[in-house]
Amino acid sequence: MQILDTGERIRELRIAAKLSQEQLAELSSLNRVTIAKYEAGKVEPGARALSRIADALEVSADILLGKSSEIPLVSSAPKTAESRIISECVDKMSKEDRERVLALMKAVYSEYFNEAEDKMA
């Protein structure tokens, strides 16, 4: 088993999550250049950055540090900051409000919902 440094783990998990450096930067509220430096091993992320990256990749910081051999599952969680915000807001709504929001979104963005429903069928 190959031993990876933190930057290599970040890169590996980012790619597994199908995220670009720009997307990971956005999700972790960091700069893309900073992410690139971490991945290249030019700079080690501090505790705060490590925590943000772990949250964005939906893994524990221990995985990024190589202290856990747990294999993270690729999540179907939202992959952009905007979609995460929307998802978090929807999660806080009552069932009735969620149903109204979904009905409104389906009416306004029907072509996207039809495409998604076709993929699920």
- Separation of alpha carbons 106 and 121, rounded Å: 17
Average pLDDT of the chain to the nearest whole number: 83
Q: What is the pTM of this model?
A: 0.60
The count of structural domains within the chain is 2
11-51 per-position pLDDT tens digit: 999 998 888 999 999 999 999 999 999 999 999 999 999 99
Kindly tell me if the per-residue pLDDT of 2 is higher than 80: no
Alpha helices for 29-109 (secondary structure H): 32-40, 47-57, 61-65, 81-92, 95-108
Is residue 112 domain-resident? yes
Is residue 74 domain-resident? no
96-111 per-position pLDDT tens digit: 998 898 888 888 888 8
Cβ(25)–Cβ(34) under 8 Å? yes
Q: Which domain holds residue 37?
A: 6-65
Is residue 38 domain-resident? yes
What is the pLDDT, as a whole number, of residue 68? 74
- Separation of alpha carbons 97 and 78, rounded Å: 20
